[in-house]
Amino acid sequence: MKIPVSHGHLEAAIQNPGGDPRGGAVFCHPHPVQGGTMHTKAVYRAGQALNQVGLRTLRFNFRGVGFSTGSYDEGIGEEEDVRAALDWLELGLPERPVIVGGLSFGSMVGLKVGVEDARVVALVALGTPIHVYDYSYLADVEKPVLVVQGEYDEHGSAQEVEEILGGLGEHVTVRSVQGAGHLFEDHIEELQGFIREFFTQGQGASALEAVRPESKGTIL
């Protein structure tokens, strides 16, 4: 599947839930230069967890990755890619709520776009590289944010992330995956569990229900 963008197109894939979607999700992959793609295991499985809570999930390759056109743009052009993915997803989910999430580099790019987009009601950051990127802007966000971090993540341990991001406000929920590293190898089920919990019992569930229309538009 191809999504049109200014530099050509983005390679993308859709994961559908069973039944009528409650809303949608755009999920972004790790650093393009370091081998991240939409097929990265934790990205794919995060998409599955979002399906399980009723969301249609769009994964895509950033510019220059896989069959996507263009070339790496240090996160700046990649923000345009995220906006294009949101626009495309919205076409099939008129007036339904959307969340944006990402893993590592994908969390940095995705959240920057998501905090400013009125269609986005909640945010998900996995493997947040706090040693590399600044997430302090989340203190000024009213949207609920789920942060899931590996206990031994080399780009910021779960304890460090809790100390830094957990103190930004009650809208930020930090969960630690015990024994996991940056990409959650061998701990995918725990990762999925935290995502499902957030969107069925946590602040994410409230965000989805607060804006969900009864029956507006045609779902494609």
pLDDT in tens, 160-200: 999 999 999 999 999 999 999 999 999 999 999 999 999 99
Confidence of residue 95 (pLDDT cuts 50, 70, 90): confident
- φ, ψ of residue 18 to 5 degrees: the values are -80, 125
- The region that residue 158 occupies, defined by phi over 0 for left and psi between -120 and 50 for alpha, beta otherwise, is alpha
CATH 3.40.50.1820 matches 2-211? yes
Condensed to tens digits (0 to 9), the pLDDT of residues 46-86 reads 999 999 999 999 999 999 999 999 999 999 999 999 999 99
Distance CA 183, CA 11 (A): 22
